Chain A
Amino acid sequence: MKKKNSIMGMAFFGPALVLLTLFLFLPMLLTFGFSFTDYFALNPELTHFVGLENYLNIFKDDLFVQSFFNTVKFVVIIVPLQCGGALLLALAINKAAHCKKYFKVAFFVPVVMSLAVVSTLWMQIYSPEGILNTLLANFGIDAQPFIYSAGQALPSIAIMSVWQGVGYQMIIFLGGLQNINPALYEAAEMDHASGWQKFKDITLPELKPLCVFVFITVTIGAFRMLVQPMVMTGGGPDHSTYTIVYDIYETGTVNWEMGLASTMAIVFTVFVVILTIIQNVLTKDKEERKHGNKKAKAN
């Protein structure tokens, strides 16, 4: 019986394993290998082993360092806005008496749209004579350059990205909100709890596992920023919106330097993995503490 089960299991798992090996694990190993070579896409035969040279070189490369900090800036702006925004939207829709479905769809639509389309749309919105500047003019504010100035381009793109992505996390939170046992709120009301107290002591703790999930996925998503700057600014002005993934793409496919691009990809991956582990450890600790508290209260 047991043997039969394991065969069945293999039969289901096997194809996925083969595909994953071919298209995920193997390329990952290859990338790791390439990162120690000067592999050049147009002339693979001339590939030499260069040891750690690539690793030393990319940290000396001003552009890579700048793209690294740009990416961090994107993450720092996007993560709080998108996580917080999603939660607020979910709470508002959950409370809304009318047109719940309409709002749900309206906020979710950008998620379904292609990033390239959304980016092109926002180029119009941000253009010097676009909707946003026309609106600002009505309030007597001078026209802003938005994506055409080194100072404003990054925040402009970040805000657009939040608008585009927030609907997805909103739906997750909304699902979480609807799963909270109404009895908890009823009990709180009998104790004359205020709205804020209910939110702080019931809603937030109940949503905690979801918050962790949203936090981590939004962070990783923000680190992978590529399409928006590629379409809207081409990484400019003055490299102010050039991200790591964009640099990897340019190095590998435009300049054909696969070895160097592999090194960048490995460094980037290691960084994101470390960050995710830190996030995991931090959030786990909190949860355990919470469970500990509960036990203490129960006692």
Chain B
Amino acid sequence: MKKRLLCLMGIVFAAACITGCQQKDPEPGDVAGYDEGEEYLSIWVHSIEDTEEGQAYKESVESFNEAYDGQYFADIEFVPRNDSGGGYSDKVNASVMAGGLPDVLTVDGPNISAYAANGIIQPLADLTEEEESEYLPSIIEQGTVNDELYALGVMESSVGFYYNKDIIEEAGIEIPDADDSWTWSEFLDILEELKPLMDEKDGYPLDMTFPVGETSIYYFAPFVWSGGGELVSDDGLTVDGYFNSDQTKAAMEFFRTVVENEYMSEAPIDHLFESGRAAFKFDGAWEVNTVYTSYPDLNLGVAPYVVSDDWDGEAYTPTGSWAFAASSETENIEGATELVKWMSGVDSGIRIWEMTKNFPSTYEAFENIDVFQTDENYSALYEQLSNYGHPRPKTPVYPQVSTCFQEVLESVALNGKDVDGELDKAVERIDQKLERYTRE
């Protein structure tokens, strides 16, 4: 008898374990600030509460609750993630299966297509033209899938093509204007010219690597785009003819030339550029802040991103960051859209810049931050972003595209493998993953 009782207790305990994980919207009064008559909106962010970024989101949510007092109440939950985004996406994946997605959640830019294609997020309620025009074009472009706007980011990112002013001056080289970038051929000549000088300094003309992870496609896909190429088709469902196009091939071969002529080190050397042993470097916009705070002696400049010889003025420079989207489970799309707009709006953008030094996503925010007017490097990055920003490929199989891009780059540029063979192999691999979306 008692045995049965114990068994029963065990089952109850197990059931409690399972149901304990499932969330239900609280009643007014359960959460501080949530009053009678307000509509409840839950929001997940991908950072830890103790970080600057987490605090910025928290403050934005608090100001939302003040502004919409009596109408909406937003409740923020911090979901920590590891470097590759694991913890956060695990939780999202689990909720997709078990239910319990919040009203609003953050999504990494390149994942928006996959989330939209699989019905995890839904299009936002219509924005007015004026509201849309507040955002940088790259942000709208990143959040749009099949002509519908799904997500708006509070931050935008960019990659700078940095140079060491002292070295460039010593070599007597002139940096071109923003709309008149060096083409690959011109840039190769410059690298050749710099080679002897940099050998003297025990360095390389270029501080560049092709690391595993998101970095490679983020920094170097612009070389494909500036030649008029794309990595995937517009609908994101075809790669054959895109990923293995002549433009991609040309970009890969350009990198091989750079490696073969020893304009860069094959194995990464730490702080090569920062220690004055490289003339150029591609790096995220955060590099400006790093140099200003940690390497004050380095005379930093931002040159326009190098373009293909075939460039005719189209957008091509790196962009993309985490954005806010409304989950498919929300029944209050109007409220969720208000929250998304608020979280990505001007004030939130200025806050994210002040607390984390991430670029904001609206024109007005940039105009209200002094350094984008006064500092030549920051203003150059802003100009590049607003005039030439190009989002990463929009396809539901983005992770595979990103991985393949890095692999091809590494095997062609560093290991000297046949570019056609590698690109075709990659296309085959991506096609396999696309089957899920194309077989119907």
Contacts from A to B (Cβ < 8 Å):
6-7, 10-11, 14-15, 17-18, 21-22, 38, 40-44, 46, 127-129, 145, 148-150, 233-239, 250, 253-257
B212 touches A233 (CB 8 A): yes
A146 and chain B: residue at smallest CB distance: B267
Q: Which residues of B contact A149 (CB under 8 A)?
A: 267
Looking at the assembled complex, report how far the CB atom of B219 sits from the nearest CB atom of chain A, in whole angstroms: 15
Looking at the assembled complex, report how far the CB atom of A198 sits from the nearest CB atom of chain B, in whole angstroms: 48
Looking at the assembled complex, report how far the CB atom of B429 sits from the nearest CB atom of chain A, in whole angstroms: 8
B37: CB under 8 A from chain A? no
B51: CB under 8 A from chain A? no
Q: Which residues of B contact A148 (CB under 8 A)?
A: 266-268
In the complex, per-residue mask of B242-279: 1 if CB is within 8 Å of any chain A CB, else 0: 00000000000000000000000111111000000000
Q: Which residues of A contact B96 (CB under 8 A)?
A: 41-44
B84 and chain A: residue at smallest CB distance: A254
B414: CB under 8 A from chain A? yes
A18 touches B433 (CB 8 A): no
Q: Which residues of B contact A238 (CB under 8 A)?
A: 407, 410-411, 415
Q: Which residues of B contact A145 (CB under 8 A)?
A: 266-267
Given contacts A10-B3, A40-B436, A255-B399, whether A18 and B14 have CB atoms under 8 Å apart is yes
CA distance A178 to B397 in the complex (A): 58
Looking at the assembled complex, report how far the CB atom of A60 sits from the nearest CB atom of chain B, in whole angstroms: 10
- List B residues 111-126 near A (Cβ within 8 Å): 114-115, 118-120
Given A6-B3, A148-B266, A254-B399; 16 other pairs, CB 8 A cutoff = A7-B6, A14-B6, A18-B10, A21-B14, A43-B96, A44-B97, A127-B269, A128-B268, A148-B268, A233-B212, A238-B410, A238-B415, A239-B407, A253-B89, A256-B93, A256-B399
Q: Which residues of B contact A10 (CB under 8 A)?
A: 3, 6
Contacts from B to A (Cβ < 8 Å):
2-3, 6, 9-10, 13-14, 17-18, 84, 86, 89-90, 93, 96-97, 114-115, 118-120, 211-213, 265-270, 397, 399-400, 403, 407, 410-411, 414-415, 433, 436
CA distance A44 to B92 in the complex (A): 12
CA distance A98 to B9 in the complex (A): 57
Looking at the assembled complex, report how far the CB atom of B323 sits from the nearest CB atom of chain A, in whole angstroms: 17
Q: Which residues of A contact B6 (CB under 8 A)?
A: 7, 10-11, 14
CA distance A236 to B211 in the complex (A): 9
Looking at the assembled complex, report how far the CB atom of A23 sits from the nearest CB atom of chain B, in whole angstroms: 9
Given contacts A10-B3, A255-B399, whether A129 and B93 have CB atoms under 8 Å apart is no
B2 touches A7 (CB 8 A): yes
CA distance A148 to B265 in the complex (A): 11
Q: Which residues of A contact B397 (CB under 8 A)?
A: 255
B402 and chain A: residue at smallest CB distance: A254
Looking at the assembled complex, report how far the CB atom of A24 sits from the nearest CB atom of chain B, in whole angstroms: 13
Looking at the assembled complex, report how far the CB atom of A59 sits from the nearest CB atom of chain B, in whole angstroms: 15
The 9 closest A-B pairs by CB, nearest first: A234-B212, A148-B267, A42-B118, A43-B118, A41-B93, A128-B267, A44-B97, A18-B10, A145-B267
CA distance A250 to B13 in the complex (A): 34
CA distance A149 to B266 in the complex (A): 9
A230 and chain B: residue at smallest CB distance: B84
The residue from B13, B14, B86, B400 contacting A253, defined by CB atoms under 8 A apart: B86
The residue from B3, B399, B407 contacting A7, defined by CB atoms under 8 A apart: B3
CA distance A18 to B10 in the complex (A): 6
Looking at the assembled complex, report how far the CB atom of B147 sits from the nearest CB atom of chain A, in whole angstroms: 21
B14 touches A127 (CB 8 A): no
Q: Which residues of A contact B120 (CB under 8 A)?
A: 42
The residue from B17, B266, B403, B414 contacting A22, defined by CB atoms under 8 A apart: B17
Q: 21 A-B contacts, Cβ less than 8 Å apart?
A: A10-B6, A14-B10, A15-B10, A18-B13, A40-B118, A41-B96, A41-B97, A42-B114, A42-B118, A43-B118, A127-B270, A128-B265, A128-B268, A149-B267, A234-B212, A237-B410, A238-B410, A238-B415, A250-B403, A253-B86, A254-B399
The residue from B10, B97, B415, B433 contacting A255, defined by CB atoms under 8 A apart: B433
CA distance A257 to B415 in the complex (A): 30
CA distance A255 to B93 in the complex (A): 12
A42 touches B212 (CB 8 A): no
B269 and chain A: residue at smallest CB distance: A128
B119 touches A43 (CB 8 A): yes
B213 touches A234 (CB 8 A): yes
CA distance A255 to B434 in the complex (A): 11
Residue of A42, A128, A255 with highest tally of chain B CB at under 10 A: A42
Looking at the assembled complex, report how far the CB atom of B137 sits from the nearest CB atom of chain A, in whole angstroms: 28
B270 touches A129 (CB 8 A): yes
B400 touches A255 (CB 8 A): yes
CA distance A22 to B10 in the complex (A): 11
CA distance A253 to B397 in the complex (A): 13
